[in-house]
Amino acid sequence: MKEMLINGRFTSGHAKEAIQVINPANEEILDEVPRGTVEDVDTAVAAAKAAFDNWRRMPAWERAGLLHEAANKMQAHEEELARLLTEEEGKPFVENEEELFWTYDTFHYYAELARHERGRFLPPGDPDQINFVIKEPFGVVGCIVPWNYPLLLLSWKLAAALAAGNTVVVKPSELTPLATLRLVEVAFDHLPPGVVNVVTGYGPEAGEALVEHPDVPMIAFTGSVETGQRIVRIAGPMMKKLHLELGGKDPMVVAPDVDLDTAVAGVAYAGLINAGQVCTSSERIYVHESLYGQFSEGLADFVGSLRLGNGLDPQIDMGPMIGNRFREKVEGQMAAAVQAGAQVLVGGKRPSALPQGYFLEPAVLVNVNHDMAIMRDETFGPVLPIMPYKTFDEAIQLANDTVFGLGASLMTQDARLVKRFFDDVKAGTIWINDPLTDNFAGPFGGMKMTGGGRELGQEGLDEFYEVKHVHWDVEGKRKEYWYPYGGTEG
């Protein structure tokens, strides 16, 4: 059994039971982790709280050096960690190599960014005064991390939180805790005890205990809208800082001027990487009516050629879904769409050649509309539903017809359409001709029911600071506008 990290030690804590971690490619048990308890969360939070004062007072250059060292250790174990990610989460090894690069380089990025500044000076209201702003860490940050990119989405929270001077308690997904535990084992052994803690367990138990804890003033969470809403209900009365990224239903618009082969390959990548289990997956495809038939056929042919299998096989393009209940949700959305008139051009079945594992053939659907759940609700699976549009105004209206606002993509060489798109589409990230690519310096996050938090960039670091304004009158003389208003005699 892999143990939790609390106060610099690996331990099973108060757990009386274990959680089995399953390889989604073959349904075999990889390992077990403790089913963390409220008492384990209490212990971890106490350790993080005790470590906070020294950590926040550490000079920024010294803290940066420790984060660079952590990043270098991650890179030294890149192949091992990528393999473990593939075994517990399922996506192809090459995709996990990319996840590891983003993980360790995020630590390098925030290590340097936090050395740059901690506030700003303001023009004073009087020559004898000084005004300045200080950015300060919150204290103990609870990081609740999903299963689809366990290390990348951990690093986007953890690196920024640590760089800002916070200490952290991490609750990884019970589906993918192994790579997280191995990462903190190999990369953070040089940090002071209590600065980083990891409690494994289920959301309603360990996760809620972290959200409810009075000594955790900030929660950073990526996951479903429903869980995010529950976090808000619990944490709202406590006035905690909430950093939420709650998924999406991202549109992809294909303009009439595209190169067809390029557009087909781009849409397939945007919708099917990690078997479509990406919060920024292109889950709604809108194609100009002049290309609709040709594009749909070309996409179906392309998707039908993709190879499914164990992510450790270098010849495969797509791995399994994370679990059977997630696969059943996708199958249910497709079945309901077909019942309402949609047509499946390719895929959508469990491959008979892969009887073990949670595999689902990537699917292309046509004859869909916005009355169908598959065009409204987050699918989080390998499905590409396509609708035609007549005018670009209609395409923008369709793109905005959602409660989510995480990302949106456009494929075109027409600069006028590009400007219309990024001006009028309500989404936190706009991709033009290169979907799902991130930038360390560019903020990532959404609008509307996606939650509004930001990761990466200066904005991602600022999420983990609270702000203090200092107004200092250097001379300290009595002011003429103090009481009494009528003035003084003599």
Q: What is the CATH number of the domain that holds 77?
A: 3.40.605.10
| Same-domain check for residues 230 and 303 | no
* Span 108-116, average pLDDT: 95
Q: Which two tokens stand for residue 376?
A: 């409204």
Q: What is the pLDDT of residue 488?
A: 58
Is residue 227 domain-shared with residue 282, that is, in the same domain?
no
d(CA 320, CA 14): 34
Residue 450 pLDDT exceeds 90: yes
CA distances from 235 to 52, 344, 450 (A): 21, 43, 18
Q: What is the mean pLDDT of residues 26-47?
A: 98
Known catalytic membership, residue 62: no
Annotated active-site residue in 95, 174, 205, 245: 245
Q: Give the distance from CA 281 to its chain's centroid.
A: 12
What string of DSSP letters covers 266-293?
HHHHHHHGGGG--TT-EEEEEEETTTHH
Distance CA 172, CA 146 (A): 7
pLDDT of residue 58: 97
Active site residue 143: no
Instruction: Give 490's pLDDT tier (boundaries 50, 70, 90).
Output: very low
Shared-domain flag, residues 204 and 263: no
Alpha helices in 376-485 (DSSP H): 392-400, 415-424, 457-462
Same domain, 196 and 122: yes
Residue 364 has pLDDT above 60, yes or no: yes
**CA separation for the pair 17, 34 (Å, rounded):** 6
Whether the CB-CB separation of 468 and 483 falls below 8 Å is answered with no
| Dihedral sign of CA atoms 242, 467, 120, 167 in order | negative
> Is 163's pLDDT higher than 50?
yes
What tokens appear for 414 in the block? 């027409």
282 strand-pairing partners? 250
Alpha carbons 416 and 420: distance in angstroms, whole number: 6
Question: Is the same domain home to 76 and 132?
Answer: yes
**At which of 405, 432, 459 does a domain end?**
432
Number of domains forming the structure of the chain: 2
Q: Check whether residue 356 and residue 457 sit in a common domain.
A: no
- Kindly indicate the confidence band of residue 486, based on its pLDDT and cuts at 50, 70 and 90: confident
How many degrees, rounded to 5, is the angle at CA 53 between CA 49 and CA 57?
A: 150
Residue 97 lies in a domain: yes
Q: How many CA within 13 A on the CB side of residue 134?
A: 9
Using CA atoms, how far apart are residues 331 and 348, in angstroms rounded to an integer?
7
170 and 132 together in one domain: yes
- Confidence at residue 105, expressed as pLDDT on a 0 to 100 scale: 98
Q: Give the pLDDT score at 117.
A: 86
Domain around 198: 4-246+451-471
Question: Considering the chain, what is the average pLDDT of its residues?
Answer: 97
Mean pLDDT, residues 8-28 taken together: 98
Q: What is the mean pLDDT of residues 259-283?
A: 98
Using DSSP's 3-state secondary structure scheme, residue 393 falls into helix
What is the band of 489 on the pLDDT scale with cuts at 50, 70, 90?
A: low
DSSP string computed for 131-194: EEEEEEE-SEEEEE--SSSHHHHHHHHHHHHHHTT-EEEEE--TTS-HHHHHHHHHHSTTSPTT
Does residue 489 form part of some domain? no
* Dihedral Cα 318, 323, 327, 330, nearest 10 deg: -90
Q: What share of the chain is helix, strand, coil (3-state, %, to 5)?
A: 40, 20, 40
**441 falls within a domain:** no
Whether residue 259 sits in one domain with residue 134 = no
Q: Residue 30 in 3-state DSSP?
A: strand
Task: Say if CB 131 and CB 471 are below 8 A apart.
Answer: yes
Of the three residues 380, 404, 432, the one that is the final residue of a domain is: 432
In tens, the pLDDT along 300-309 reads: 999 999 999 9
Residues 214 and 259 in one domain: no
Q: Do 210 and 255 belong together in one domain?
A: no
Contacts of 485 (CB under 8 A, 6+ apart): none
Predicted local distance difference test score (pLDDT) of residue 437: 94
Name the maximum alpha-carbon separation found in the chain. Answer: 100
Q: Are residues 116 and 191 in the same domain?
A: yes
- pLDDT surpasses 50 at 174: yes
Query: Exposure pattern of 164-196 as b/e (b: 16+ CB <10 Å)?
Result: bbbbbbbbbbbbbbbbbbbbbbebbeebbebbb
The domain that holds 262 is classified in CATH as 3.40.309.10
Structural domain includes residue 477: no
Are both 259 and 289 inside the same structural domain? yes
State the Cα–Cα distance between residues 322 and 222, nearest whole angstrom: 17
Task: Name 106's Cβ contacts closer than 8 Å, sequence gap at least 6.
Answer: 152, 155, 156, 159, 440, 456
The confidence score (pLDDT) of residue 355 equals 96
- Among the listed residues 88, 279, 455, 463, the single catalytic one is 279
**Nearest-CA neighbor of 312 among 149, 83, 77, 24?**
83
Handedness of CA 107, 112, 118, 124 (dihedral sign): negative
Mean pLDDT on 254-277: 98
